[in-house]
Structure 1
């Protein structure tokens, strides 16, 4: 997080406790932007990421991932076109590692990589009143997975059914828009945004999970974040094998509990106490907490899972299905 943005947030009224209100805003300090510009960023990224830039509309956004040669994710992100380049919104803790690693290849395309943490800040807006506030500003609202440019930054819709928007702006504009929002909507803790992501079945690679999981273990094929029709990219052979041969023995599951873990990573165990998975995301909810964890598929069948000192976990539904290959390919 930018030092200036952090100081600004510290001067603002504290977030309200988690409530049932359906409209709110929050800071997105857990995320930041890796920008790719100059040279030929499209050709450069096309050989590095799971999404297909050749079939990507300029007003769109998409989830995607970048893998190492073994098919393990170096990052997953939301990709936004920005001028002649791109913004990759990802967990702030892995941006520098990705800048360093991608820099080995960017030089061949004369592209520039930059951690925009000190230049840009993110605000999350949610609910019908947030949508109404945006409309009152004269903004033509983007549909889900689309974006619009404003105030030197971008607004992207990440959920249309239960409205959620990410607003990425230069620091001065972010401070101004924050002040305007504070007079209209309640500020909620960032954990409520994480909870909404959990309910959408979206987990994020961070410094603890860097190079630990494949895209399939994060269910990215069900989120439209992998193209199985594009050309080669780093790790493609492993990703394709997972898709066509169904070799992944574990994947992302949504779980509920009465008490949250103190931190991640945290092991998930079965009734015998054997480790069967790893927690990757958690947030408080109205009834305790909700989690996303990568768990062995065979362990889910008995549904007797726990973490820590006998904290029982209940398997909850995800808003998408893990279905057969043909259906998934139609979405890419």
Structure 2
């Protein structure tokens, strides 16, 4: 099974590419193998998420895979920080396509025992794969040239609609920063901390924009919100969550009767809330929790 992912992409080249992006992102790209991939955020100076990406470290470049419509904004941000760095930034959104293969064992040419990033041939075309858990089990984000799409897709199995992938994601308790509307929040509040469902932070990598706030949160452990699930029918997407007329969080995308939500930590599974005025029930992040 595979599903098309709405995507945009940047390619960074030049001698300083790894060090440059390392100083902007929350995770440790320098410490990743080559090839390798890490989930990461690009933060504001207040530690709030501005962009989420999966960063691929390759022999000759750094490839940043983002949600649709994000590449131009991140490129503009990165260019503001280029001073003497030998870095060039190219927007590849129109040249590349991405699908998610739900189970890595189903992808021809992919080695389930291999690294998290692998380049291989599929359908006579060179492709790049990155291990990504979007459904609660190891899958692969598959990147390829748009002009080679017909050959690549012919080598895969059955296509599944995006809404079904979203339902599986929410059932597994895995956040999507852009789709859930969590831009502007702290990573620790929406499941991106170490030990969370989508870890995207290293507390040992050195300085980056927003790092001081991240270090303070690690030391004090005082984030007031965390990621939970909500169940209910017809919940609006990306709406305020209230209880007794008080705002207690924000809900993300709704699919399959579920939403992920950034909620006050005092809320517990079984509590009743409203999402944009629609009744909902707080659930543990995972169905088996």
Q: 3-state SS of the aligned residue for 1:298?
A: coil
Describe how 1:116-131 pairs up with structure 2 within 5 A: 116-127=92-103, 131=105
1:310 aligns with one of 278, 281, 284:
278
Which gives a bigger RCO, structure 1 or 2 (Cα 8 Å, sep 6+)?
1
Retained in 1: the 8 A contact 2:182–2:190? no
> Hey, what does 2:220 align to over in structure 1?
245
The TM-score, its normalising length taken from structure 2, stands at 0.86
2:185 aligns with one of 181, 188, 213:
213
> Hey, what does 1:74 align to over in structure 2?
50
Retained in 1: the 8 A contact 2:191–2:199? no
- Separation in 2, partners of 1:311, 1:145: 44
> Hey, what does 2:27 align to over in structure 1?
51
Give 1:245 shift. 0.3
2:127 aligns with one of 146, 150, 153:
153
Q: Which has the higher helix share?
A: 1
Q: How many aligned residue pairs are there? A: 281
Mean Cα displacement is larger for which, 301-310 or 110-119?
301-310
- Separation in 2, partners of 1:269, 1:196: 26
Change (3 A) 1:161 1:209: closer
- Separation in 1, partners of 2:98, 2:221: 37
Retained in 2: the 8 A contact 1:36–1:114? yes
Q: 3-state SS of the aligned residue for 2:266?
A: helix
- Separation in 2, partners of 1:121, 1:48: 25
> Hey, what does 2:249 align to over in structure 1?
277
State the Cα deviation string for residues 165-196 of structure 1 (Å, max 9, x = none): 21110012222222343xx42x2211222233
Retained in 2: the 8 A contact 1:71–1:238? yes
Give 1:308 shift. 3.0
- Separation in 1, partners of 2:207, 2:150: 42
Unaligned runs of 5+ in 2: none
Does structure 1 residue 290 correspond to structure 2 residue 258?
Answer: yes
Does structure 1 residue 25 correspond to structure 2 residue 16?
Answer: no
- Separation in 2, partners of 1:253, 1:210: 13
Change (3 A) 1:256 1:60: farther
Give 1:237 shift. 0.5
State the Cα deviation string for residues 83-130 of structure 1 (Å, max 9, x = none): 322112222232211111111113531212233210100111124xx7
Retained in 2: the 8 A contact 1:91–1:204? no
- Separation in 1, partners of 2:163, 2:127: 24
- Separation in 2, partners of 1:265, 1:66: 21
Describe how 1:1-332 pairs up with structure 2 within 5 A: 24-29=1-6, 31-127=7-103, 131-132=105-106, 134-135=107-108, 139-143=109-113, 146-150=116-120, 151-159=125-133, 162-181=137-156, 184-185=157-158, 187-206=159-178, 209=181, 212-221=184-193, 222=195, 223-261=198-236, 264-270=237-243, 272-283=244-255, 285=256, 289-300=257-268, 303-318=271-286
Alignment root-mean-square deviation, CA: 2.7
Mean Cα displacement is larger for which, 52-61 or 302-311?
302-311
- Separation in 2, partners of 1:157, 1:47: 24
Give 1:302 shift. 6.6
- Separation in 2, partners of 1:238, 1:318: 28
Q: Which has the higher strand share?
A: 2
- Separation in 1, partners of 2:216, 2:119: 38
Unaligned runs of 5+ in 1: 1-23, 322-332
- Separation in 1, partners of 2:267, 2:276: 17
- Separation in 1, partners of 2:170, 2:140: 16
Retained in 2: the 8 A contact 1:254–1:292? yes
